[in-house]
Amino acid sequence: MSNTKYNIPNVWELCFLSVPIIVPLAVYMFEKCCSNKYRKLNSKVVLITGASSGLGETLAHEFYSHGCALILTGRSNTELERVKSDLLSRSDVKNVNKPCTLVLDLIDQATIEGVSQKVLGVFGRVDILINNAGISYRGRAEVTTAEVDYQVMLVNYFGQIALTKAILPSMIHHKSGHIVAISSVQGKIAIPFRSAYTASKHALQAFFDTLRAEIARHKVKVTVISPGYIQTNLSLNALTGNGSKYGIMDESTMDGYSAEYVAQRIVEAVVNNEQEIIIAPFYARLAIGLRYIWPRVYFWIMKCRAERQAGQKM
């Protein structure tokens, strides 16, 4: 009988030996899970407002990469066609659905109903509505004309809800749909020299919070996105108190999140059926909490901020 001794590996040795197998398998399973998760977006009809530039354009690329059928709207037909051409020329994406473009100016309320009927006539439905179009503002409240307040509210609030109300009956009829409102951190907290903008985003937040509860029984979902600063031309095109263009790229905007990152987070929120997400650094989240937990301190901080910025041209 042989006296050969066999060394039986202990638990730690077994764990070490199985790493080359477990890690690749875990990565594979994770990628497969993510792939399956995003697969449900394939051929979903997605309507994006403000799709001719900035975050809207980036969202178009993100949803298109997941096989969605896109309806792109904006004020400039030339820019919409450019975005469409860019999408169709992508060699890294296999999408059989050709994007559709429609001119839509949310300031022109009289045309929204007609455009919405054209939208529904393209694919017969809208599965996901992305209320992205918007305009920003920089100025002192006391010298800002009421016309500017009205224009910002018209684009950021009244235009969004008019389009939503026009599309919503179709979603209710199909017992399916997802409405996404691109709000802002400033829809939760107000900061100095943004009165018209923050007012419009507060209104947007309130409307869609109410709508979410009311239409849940129809199996139509609502997601509100509250991003911080994003690296787009939003501040360049912002209105000032007299209605002229601000024309300055804010430092906070330059240091903001990339549009690609925000677009990816928005798509994730849709896939995961999240009711609300805040895409902002810790200090912004802290300010949101402070506004409700310790408002006196928050108001003092905002007063100091206003005094510090008082010398800047607004």
Of 138, 157, 174, the closest CA to residue 250 belongs to 138
- Helices 11-39 and 259-271 sit at what angle, rounded to 10 degrees? 90
| pLDDT for position 51 | 96
Tracing tokens 């239409």 back to the chain, one arrives at 215
One-letter-per-residue 3-state SS of 235-292: CCCCECCCCCECCCCCHHHHCCECHHHHHHHHHHHHHCCCCEEEECCHHHHHHHHHHH
Task: Give residue 237's pLDDT band: very low, low, confident or very high (50, 70, 90).
Answer: confident
Q: In order of start, what are the domains of the chain with their CATH numbers?
A: 44-282 (3.40.50.720)
What tokens appear for 284 in the block? 């912004």
Provide the 8-state DSSP code for 190. Answer: -
Q: Would you place residue 232 in the very low, low, confident or very high pLDDT band (cuts 50, 70, 90)? A: confident
In single-letter form, the type of residue at position 293 comes to I
* Catalytic machinery residues: 197
Token pair for 72: 């792109």
Confidence (pTM): 0.86
pLDDT score of 25: 59
The separation between CA 167 and the C-alpha centre of its own chain, rounded to angstroms, equals 18
Residue-wise over 61-87: b if at least 16 C-beta within 10 A, else e?
bbbbbbbbbbbbbbbeeebbeebbeeb
Instruction: Choose among 155, 152, 276: nearest CA to 206.
Output: 276
pLDDT, tens digit, for every residue of 154-172? Answer: 999 999 999 999 999 999 9
